[in-house]
Amino acid sequence: MTPATPAVDRQHSGRLFFVVWAWLFALSFLSWLVAYFGIAGIPRWSLISVFMLAKAALIVAVFMRLAWERLALVFAIVAPLLALVAFISALNFEAVYIHSQRENYQGVKAP
């Protein structure tokens, strides 16, 4: 019977961390450019949200080492996002229902 071999903790190269830090800097710079050029409305918040989610994904994947553990990555990123979409959809459904009920009982179209 052979003894169980301990799990090897692989060290990642410093180059990977420098590349990730460069990407984080570039994404932060792009967020700053969105504010600098005065982009307003939905494009502004869409761009800022995309940059924020990209930075969060990089941090979670590399610095928390979840890129090498697929199941943990799914539970940490995909599952909460799906839950958030489900909750927002449910709240939107309820808001539309309440809005229609107010129109029915008050007889006035709300803005």
Tokens of 25: 């800097």
Q: Both tokens of residue 64?
A: 């928390």
What is the predicted pLDDT for the residue at 43? 94
Confidence of residue 3 (pLDDT cuts 50, 70, 90): low
- Per-residue pLDDT of 13-61, as tens digits, reads 788 889 999 999 999 999 999 999 999 999 999 999 999 989 988 988 8
Residue type for position 89: S
pTM reported for the whole predicted model: 0.60
Query: What is the total residue count of the chain?
Result: 111
Interacting residues of 66 by C-beta distance below 8 A, sequence separation 6+: 60, 72, 73, 76, 77
- Please give the single-letter amino acid code of residue 81: L
pLDDT digits (tens, 9 = 90+) for 53-85: 899 889 888 888 776 787 887 787 788 889 999
Backbone φ and ψ for 65, nearest 5 degrees, come out as 60, 35
The pLDDT value given to residue 69: 80
